[in-house]
């Protein structure tokens, strides 16, 4: 019953240490040292290896090392093998920190002040009270709900949009494509936390930007594939968007010379909004393994039809 880890190797060494401390009876291996492939029962990975089914004939469970699973080609994973999203608390905690930082940066005009500093311009910008700055979050799963919960403390009017209905205290919730225009019309700062699926690819486009209040701010912490880059640049240059905080791109990393690197209204970070913490991630994986061996329901199980 061997666990194989295939992701960041520096953090992998921490995983190995925690496994040795907390589950010394569970064999743990770091890719590419897989040992006997027939002994691999559990795979924890970011980018999965090729030919999973044939390489690991006795594989029973696959766990994404991150909150997303769009990097997996589900067609190459046998239907009887469950695919799980990582649900350890460190992912939500770090995402909440980042989105709060990004919302406040746009709310308090930080991108403008950074540009002014570079040009040695001392010019105040009138402060808008938080109670008048409406924040909308697209994607009301674990991360979206955690973000909204923390944003309540600042007094922003909050709304959320999701594919299916949600009820969140203190948040005006919208569901389905027909409700999207009404949701967008009251989002002065829009946060994208959607999973990347065929339905959501390219959703951050010119039509969507036109439905936002003019001068809205954009935060994309979903996936690079959500954003139509040319439409984002055009919206920024026209004033339809006042600024964008982008933690994801397609491809990653962006090539040298890409306009996102130097655009004065874009704050770009290297897919670093949230990070799986080895300490609590190992606890999550060990809990999943125990549940699986007892035949219990597994947390974070991906619905193959929906893609998340």
Q: Which residues are catalytic?
A: 223, 271
Lookup result for tokens 């040298």: 256
Measuring CA to CA, how many Å separate 140 from each of 50, 57, 146, 156, 275?
32, 36, 9, 17, 19
Q: How far is CA 175 from CA 159, 184, 194, 228, 242, in A?
A: 11, 12, 13, 23, 26
- Whether residue 253 is preceded by a cis peptide bond, meaning omega within 30 degrees of 0, is yes
CB burial string 254-272: b at 16+ within 10 A, e below: beeeeebeebebbbbeebe
Joined together, the tokens standing for residue 73 give 């080609």
DSSP lists the bridge partners of residue 231 as none
d(CA 301, CA 287): 14
Judge whether 67 and 246 are in contact, CB under 8 Å.
no
Question: Which residues, including other chains, have CB under 8 Å from residue 262's CB and lie 6 or more apart?
Answer: none
């Amino acid at each position: 019953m061997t666990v194989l880890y295939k992701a960041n190797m520096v953090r992998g060494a921490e995983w190995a240490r925690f496994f040795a401390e907390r589950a010394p009876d569970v064999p743990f291996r770091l890719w590419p040292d897989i040992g006997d492939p027939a002994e691999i029962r559990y795979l924890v990975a970011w980018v999965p290896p090729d030919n999973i089914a044939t390489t690991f004939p006795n594989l029973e469970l696959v766990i994404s090392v991150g909150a997303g699973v769009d990097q997996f080609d589900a067609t190459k994973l046998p239907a009887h093998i469950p695919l799980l999203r990582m649900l350890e608390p460190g992912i939500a905690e770090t995402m909440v920190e980042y989105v709060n930082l990004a919302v406040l940066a746009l709310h308090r005009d930080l991108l403008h002040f950074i540009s002014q500093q570079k040009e040695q311009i001392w010019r105040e910008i009138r402060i808008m009270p938080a109670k008048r700055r409406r924040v909308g979050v697209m994607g009301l799963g674990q991360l979206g709900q955690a973000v909204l919960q923390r944003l309540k403390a600042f007094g922003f009017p909050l709304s959320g949009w999701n594919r299916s209905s949600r009820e969140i205290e203190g948040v005006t919730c919208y569901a389905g494509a027909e409700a999207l225009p009404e949701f967008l019309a009251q989002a002065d700062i829009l946060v994208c936390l959607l999973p990347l699926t065929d339905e959501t690819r390219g959703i951050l486009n010119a039509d969507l930007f036109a439905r936002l209040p003019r001068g809205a701010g954009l935060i994309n912490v979903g996936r690079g594939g959500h954003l139509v880059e040319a439409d984002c640049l055009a919206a920024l240059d026209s004033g339809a968007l006042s600024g964008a905080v982008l933690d994801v791109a397609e491809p990653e990393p962006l090539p040298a010379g890409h306009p996102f690197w130097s655009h004065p209204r874009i704050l770009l970070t290297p897919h670093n909004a949230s990070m799986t913490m080895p300490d609590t991630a190992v606890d999550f994986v060990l809990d999943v393994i125990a549940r699986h061996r007892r035949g219990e329901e597994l947390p974070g199980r991906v619905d193959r039809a929906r893609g998340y």
